[in-house]
Amino acid sequence: MPAGKTYTPLARTTLTSSAASVTFSNISGSYTDLILVCNTMRTTGLDNIGVRFNSDTGSNYSWTIIKGSGSAASSDRRSSVTDIIFNVYNNDINTPSVGILQIQNYSNTTTYKTALSRSSGSAAGYVYATVGLWRNTAAITSITLLDEGSTSAVINAGSTFTLYGILAA
């Protein structure tokens, strides 16, 4: 029998001024999966938003990507890096990029965590699909989104980030 409604908004952030990063902390372990939806603009130029878990800044992440540029499809990979590539975005405020990050079984403490994402920005000129690995068995309790190209406050005001929890029967 269905267990009832189970797609729950947990937190939402709308930037009122530009920021270097956005963090969702104290994430409850009460759900099965997490979904993070973002709508982003950069203050200048083009780059990517990356994801870290539990404030881990070590080289414990890796990812494999497929991307389309509008003229060609390609694939790339990074190993032992400090974040998982997620969202391509640029400085066209009328055409923000969108990204969806899916983290299955985020609160289990026996497996490394695998995340799937899709991202696109017509002004940014790319569409991404990524699978990322965090080599840690800890339950995910915080998610940090940061610009991969700059430590300055380049994630523009108006960017939105919404975290959902999905609860399985």
Interacting residue ranges for another protein, rule: CB under 8 A: 2-9, 14, 32-33, 37, 39, 62-67, 73-77, 79-80, 94-96, 98, 100, 102, 104-105, 108, 110-112, 114-116, 118, 120, 122-123, 129-133, 135, 137, 158, 160, 162, 164, 166-169
Residue nearer to another protein on the CB measure, 69 or 152:
69
Residue 69: in which H helix or E strand, if any? Answer: none
Instruction: Report in angstroms how near the CB of residue 20 gets to another protein at its nearest.
Output: 21
Phi, psi at residue 21, to the nearest 5°? -160, 165
Instruction: Report in angstroms how near the CB of residue 84 gets to another protein at its nearest.
Output: 9
Instruction: Report in angstroms how near the CB of residue 3 gets to another protein at its nearest.
Output: 4
Q: What is the largest CA-CA distance in the chain?
A: 51
Q: Which of 120, 122, 162 is nearest to 145 (CA)?
A: 162
Tokens 């009460």 belong to 30
Residue nearer to another protein on the CB measure, 101 or 152:
101
Distance CA 128, CA 88 (A): 8
Instruction: Report in angstroms how near the CB of residue 142 gets to another protein at its nearest.
Output: 20
Cα angle 31, 36, 41; round to 5: 165
Residue nearer to another protein on the CB measure, 23 or 78:
78
